[in-house]
Amino acid sequence: MNERLYKRKIRLLISIVLVLVMAFSGCNGKQKKQERKRENRQESQQEKKETVKADNKDLSKSEQSLQNLQKNLRRSRMPMAVAYLGYADDNSPFRDQVRTLLKNGKYEEQYSFLADVPKENYISYNGEEVYAIVPQSTQYAMKVESFDWDENANAMVRDTLYISQKAAPVILKCNLSELSYNVVITLTKGTETFSYSPSLSLMDGALYAYNLDGMEIYDFTLYDNLEIPVWNEGGECGGCGDPEGYGAPLEAAGEEPGLIGQWLSTELKNQSGQNITYGMYFGDYQYFEFQYGQMGHDLECWSGTFEVTDQFRNGELVVHYVLYTPDGTREGEFYTMVNYGEMLVTEGSGDAIFPFTDASTEWFYSY
């Protein structure tokens, strides 16, 4: 009996030892597998890093600058970057003028890829404002179209100026005036569509960095090196901060903060029954700018000064203005009431504030 019990104990002990050995071997095997997976993963990550480094080493300075900008676009979740480069005319080759703008704007260091934009990606349309357009990636298709305004101020697409299934940077010249942008850029990827018309804000001359849907554009303009015109009494450029122009404060006080900004009206008609656009810009230091004409065409632009007087008329502000035109000085008063982005303007004494129309009262809207 004791011998039988002894043999059972021996068999039980052997079984326990075997189970422990197998369990240890299994755990050890799993641990080794996990270690091998971890090592393989680390090696793979290291290889990817080395590949990226090698790829970056192979990139030229120009390619690297484009890649960095597009990386910022992806981080910002914006499909397009735009820079306002300055003005170009038709008196010399477009590409030569762009090279000068890039040099003067000091774009060679940070955005050197702009100098390598190929000839076929230069788009010259009616106007003098020059923009650099950069899509987030070649996964987008890009189309640039011109459009015009009909007599009711409705936009009508005219021609396709550029199209590519793999979007790439382009240099674009357009816009007959600040109030009359005339191209639209469209990016598409699958069901995603994004459109933008480049233009400048009359508030400060900077890029207007939003599309009509309120989506933001990545603005990479180098403003420190950009000359923004300052106009003097003769309608000539005072030299970008020249103290002889309106870049210097005027002595008179009386500005009205509620007026400051750009205002637009497109509902009035001239004597021929055509829609006519009026724009008013009230700036710092009593600077006043008045524009009029038909959308899609050159707008006449007059500059001068304004002053809000101490008088009121039925709760309306009385504004005295002076405008310097090619035909001489226009001077007068108008009455205005500003409320939540709307401004009612009524003609007062002196020269008419609404030339070439029989209207004497009109609503303007902040732009």
Over the stretch 88-109, which tens digit does the pLDDT of each residue have? 988 899 999 999 999 999 998 8
Residue 230 has pLDDT above 50, yes or no: no
* pLDDT above 90: residue 222: yes
Please tell me the predicted confidence (pLDDT) of residue 167. 97
- Spatial contact of 73 and 218, defined as CB atoms under 8 Å apart: yes
Summarised one tens digit per residue, pLDDT across range 191-201 is 999 999 998 87
Instruction: Read off the pLDDT of each residue in 9-26 and give the average, rounded to a whole number.
Output: 55
pLDDT in tens, 259-302: 888 888 887 887 777 778 889 999 877 889 998 887 656 678 89
| Structure token digits, residue 244 | 């002889």
Q: Where are the beta strands (DSSP E) in the chain?
A: 80-87, 122-124, 129-135, 141-149, 155-164, 170-174, 183-189, 192-196, 218-219, 261-265, 277-282, 287-293, 300-313, 316-325, 328-339, 342-350, 361-366
Tens digit of each residue's pLDDT (9 = 90 or more) over 318-332: 899 999 988 889 999
Taking CA atoms, 225 is separated from 86, 104, 107, 228, 261, in Å, by 10, 7, 9, 10, 24
Average pLDDT over residues 45-57: 49
- What domains, with CATH codes, occur in the chain? 61-225 (no CATH), 261-366 (2.40.128)
pTM of the model: 0.58
What pLDDT shows up at residue 114? 98
**pLDDT, position 283:** 86
Amino acid 265 reads: S
* Inter-residue contact 52 to 189 (CB < 8 Å): no
Identity of the amino acid at 241: G
